Structure 1
Amino acid sequence: MKYKGLASIAFCFAAACGKPAEAPQAAQPKQEITAPAGEYRLDKSHASLVFQIDHLGFSMYTASFSDFGATLEFNPEDPESMSVSASIKVPSLTIPAPPEGFHEELMGPDWFNARAHPGMSFRSTNVTLTGDRIATVEGELKMLGATAPVTMEAEFIGGYAGYPPYDPNARIGFSAHGTLRRSDFGFTHGLPPEGTTMGVGDLVSFEINAEFTGPPAPAPAEE
């Protein structure tokens, strides 16, 4: 895998410079799951949706959406029964240091066509547990009026039943990543001619980090 290759290069570089390789850090203990089953909604103050796409073969252009929501049916006793739905407001696209008028161009008919399609939506269709707190989430993404399957790998980071009075509701956290091809949605403007990189790539990689809040925490026992 590419990460193993990068690790090997880093090790060889350290050896060539006469520096000992650093000892790996101990893994952080995983939180006990005390969050109850139920409906959880995205905490927008603790969530990010970032994507990357190849630009001319020179860099992976990075951007994000700042306005999105999600609802999760959570069940720690039966993870494969869980489901998630999400929506993204297209005009909330956030790009680094955009040239004047660039955001408006991206919202135009050649690109995201936000006037006709101001939102994207996702709903899961299947969850398969593949490891300790890790699952493959299959679903359908709707973009530009077209719907196509999208798969991501999600990791459950942790959760608790609440921490009154500071956090009066249950809270859970997830991290997820995956890829999609924009051409599956008819989003073909700017694709490089075959055999070249002179354009904006087809493959889009994305990463989501999110916290959700759920049922109210149990009232503290009276002394």
Structure 2
Amino acid sequence: MKKTLLGLVLGSVALASLPAMADKYVIDTKGAHASINFEIQHLGYSWLTGRFNEFSGEFNYDPKDVAASKINVTINTNSVDSNHAERDKHLRSDDFLNVAKFPTATFVSTKIVQDDGEEFDIIGDLTLNGVTKSVTIEVDKIGEGKDPWGGYRVGFEGETEIRLKDFNIKQDLGPASQSVKLKLHVEGIKQ
């Protein structure tokens, strides 16, 4: 009996000393509770906006240890949508996204740094148009909690800016249009 009790106590201590595991979430694209949007200046006179309609991803998130969190996302580049069919055809060409050769773009986090409270930076590798570069996404946590269907969700918004030439996008859109802003809204469902 003493050996059993001792074993239980030691086992409990060993389990308590293990680091907490980050919860796994799937990005809710089926319910349209996530979006990948972009905006770029048009000739320096206005903003052209659009989005990618098809993407998927998952992330691990531990609010007590944000640095242990991870995210990966895959984007169908053919799903680019700027609300203009001819422009979208041009965006899919080798002048821009070259979707025939590179039908997907990916983002895989390599490091997460907590800034202040529920703000943090996600550093990761963005692969777009056959080029992989490290980018930093500035993220704000929107909230988390139970949903009406018995699940648990957490949501974030993020923003980054990338230079077109860094990703081998050859089309020169003029001096005001050398970079594109990416605006991300992510809601994950706990698995």
The two structures have a TM-score, normalised by structure 2, of 0.83
CA distance in structure 2 between the partners assigned to 1:76 and 1:105 by the alignment = 42
Counterpart position of 1:46:
33
Counterpart position of 1:152:
137
Q: Which has the higher helix share?
A: 2
CA distance in structure 1 between the partners assigned to 2:139 and 2:104 by the alignment = 23
Percent identity, aligned pairs only, is 26
2:67 aligned counterpart, secondary structure: helix
Deviations along 1:148-207, whole A, 9 cap, x unmatched? 1111111111112x34xx323221111111111111111121242xxx55xxx1111111
Where in structure 2 are there 5+ consecutive unaligned residues?
1-20
Deviations along 1:32-71, whole A, 9 cap, x unmatched? xxxx941100001201111111111111211111111121
Where in structure 1 are there 5+ consecutive unaligned residues?
1-35, 216-223
Which 4+ stretches in 1 moved above 6 angstroms? none
Correspondence 1:176 to 2:163: no
Counterpart position of 2:179:
203
1:102 aligned counterpart, secondary structure: helix
2:90 aligned counterpart, secondary structure: helix
CA distance in structure 2 between the partners assigned to 1:130 and 1:69 by the alignment = 26
2:78 aligned counterpart, secondary structure: helix
Deviations along 1:73-123, whole A, 9 cap, x unmatched? 111110111111111101111113x1x533222212222111111110001
Give the C-alpha shift of residue 141 in structure 1. 0.3
Counterpart position of 2:45:
58
CA distance in structure 2 between the partners assigned to 1:167 and 1:135 by the alignment = 29
CA distance in structure 1 between the partners assigned to 2:90 and 2:163 by the alignment = 21
Counterpart position of 2:112:
127
CA distance in structure 2 between the partners assigned to 1:206 and 1:104 by the alignment = 20
Say what the alpha-carbon RMSD is for the aligned residues: 1.6
CA distance in structure 2 between the partners assigned to 1:177 and 1:111 by the alignment = 21
CA distance in structure 1 between the partners assigned to 2:39 and 2:98 by the alignment = 19
CA distance in structure 2 between the partners assigned to 1:167 and 1:125 by the alignment = 33
How many residues are treated as equivalent by the alignment? 169
Contact 2:80 2:91 in 1 (8 A): no
